[in-house]
Amino acid sequence: MSKISWKGGALIAPLPPVLVTCGTMEKPNVLTIAWTGILNTLPPKTYVSVRPTRYSYDLIKSTGEFVINLTTSQMVKSVDFCGVKSGRDIDKFAATGFVPEKASIVACPMIAQSPVSLECRVADIVPLGSHDMFIADIIAVNVDDKYIDRDGKLHLERCGLVAYAHGEYFELGKKIGSFGFSVRKKNKNRHN
Ligand SMILES: Cc1cc2nc3c(=O)[nH]c(=O)nc-3n(C[C@H](O)[C@H](O)[C@H](O)COP(=O)(O)O)c2cc1C
């Protein structure tokens, strides 16, 4: 095996292309964000890195709130659309048919079509260069009950979650393991 060495670049893949909603129920906006992830488990903390030129930037900064909405393959065309059109020029909710849904704590809406919406409150803003990183507490998680079974288990594999890799969108594929499976002892009573 041999690797070609390139100069440093933002090439971690896959990433989740999430829809970040901001503003208010009366005047909401939504933009696509791939520079996101989890920073800490307890308390649960996330980040979104946003270019200061985005229309959403001032909305998030002034309200100190946003919602991260996970995206599915059914939503992917609108995910791309919200990442190339600005709320400065159009109402992206009207254009995509996304339905704004009242969040449990924050004033900005969630997207009804999204299977999981995380309500976030900004804790810190870190200017990094091209982007400013909004570090935020995840203060509520809202899950579409159709993905929760009778035992309360969440089945994210049924959502058709989208992954973003090097400029392209993919639907999450088949399950190939689960946390800790590499060291898990086989149940002797099971024959399958
Ligand atoms: C897949 C994808 C990922 C994106 N990720 C980011 C990101 O992490 N940060 C960012 O500032 N813009 C990102 N963008 C660009 C913004 O979504 C885009 O500029 C959008 O039009 C901004 O909307 P607004 O002006 O209504 O805020 C991404 C776009 C796409 C299509």
Nearest CA-CA partner of 31 in 103, 106, 89: 89
Distance 157 CA to ligand 1 centre (A): 26
Token pair recorded at residue 133: 């990183």
- Ligand 1, from 31, 51, 61, 91: best to mutate by most atoms within 8 Å of Cβ? 31
Q: Is the CB of 61 under 6 A from ligand 1?
A: no
Give the number of other Cβ atoms within 10 Å of residue 95's Cβ.
Answer: 12
Give the number of other Cβ atoms within 10 Å of residue 175's Cβ.
Answer: 7
Distance 174 CA to ligand 1 centre (A): 28
Q: Is the CB of 50 under 6 A from ligand 1?
A: yes
Distance 104 CA to ligand 1 centre (A): 25
- Ligand 1, from 19, 53, 54, 170: best to mutate by most atoms within 8 Å of Cβ? 54
Nearest-atom index, ligand 1, CA of 84: 21
Beta-carbon contacts of residue 71 (< 8 Å; ≥ 6 apart): 16, 17, 18, 19, 79, 114, 161, 162
Give the number of other Cβ atoms within 10 Å of residue 33's Cβ.
Answer: 25
Per-residue pLDDT of the chain (192 residues; tens, 9 = 90+): 899 999 999 999 999 999 999 999 999 999 999 999 999 999 999 999 999 999 999 999 999 999 999 999 999 999 999 999 999 999 999 999 999 999 999 999 999 999 999 999 999 999 999 999 999 999 999 999 999 999 999 999 999 999 999 999 999 999 999 999 999 987 656 555
Query: Would you say the pTM of this structure is higher than 0.85?
Result: yes
Residue 64's φ and ψ, nearest 5 degrees, are 70, 20
Beta-carbon contacts of residue 114 (< 8 Å; ≥ 6 apart): 19, 69, 70, 71, 72, 75, 144
CA distances 178 to 13, 14, 72, 172, Å, are 19, 18, 21, 15
Angle at 176 between CA 175 and CA 181, to 5 degrees: 115
